Structures are given as C-alpha cells and as structure tokens.
Amino acid sequence: MTGDVHKPRSPVRVLFCPKCEDYRPVRHETRQQTYTVRDREITIPVGVDVCVICGEEIGSDEQDKRIIEQLHDHE
Ligand SMILES: [Zn+2]
C-alpha cells in the first residue's frame, strides 16, 4: 500500500526525532510560521509534529507540500 494513511484520531503517534535520534511520541501543534515569497512575507498557520521529549519539530514531505500549497493560495 502506498499513499497517505489518514487515521482520524490516533491517540499517540510515534515519529523518528532527529535530535533524540530515536522514535518518540509526538504531539500536534499549530504554529504561525513566516515565509518569504518573492520579497513578500507571508505568515500562515502550519501544523507541526513536535517531539514531546525535546520539543523538536519533526517535518515531513507531506507537510512541506501542504505549506507550499498554502503559500500559493496567497498569490
Ligand atoms: Zn526529540
């Protein structure tokens, strides 16, 4: 099976944290992030997964794609 797996409400998700160098439970947070696109600053809410142990944001390709799509919506 390939593609996105959407689990509606999984209580604990575990992702590899590059800072801890181990698999850690993560919590989902929405943070305001500012990006510069063609000399304009655009702030959008970005959903991120954060390691509950060290607080590191754990990105993903899927997340990057969503951010790019959101930035395009502002054009
Ligand atoms: Zn961590």
Domain boundaries in the chain? 13-73
Counting DSSP H helices and E strands in the chain, the numbers are: 1, 4
Q: Which two tokens stand for residue 47?
A: 């959903």
Q: Is 13 left (phi over 0), alpha (psi -120 to 50) or beta?
A: beta
Which tens digits make up the pLDDT trace of 33-58? 899 988 999 999 988 899 999 999 99
Q: Is the pLDDT confidence value at 59 over 70?
A: yes
Residue 60 CA to ligand 1 centre (angstroms): 15
CATH of 13-73, one of 2.60.40, 3.10.20, 3.40.50, 3.40.1010: 3.10.20
Higher-scoring residue by pLDDT: 73, 20: 20
Distance 3 CA to ligand 1 centre (A): 26
Q: How far is the CA of 54 from the centre of ligand 1 (A)?
A: 4
Ligand 1 geometric centre to CA of 16 (Å): 8
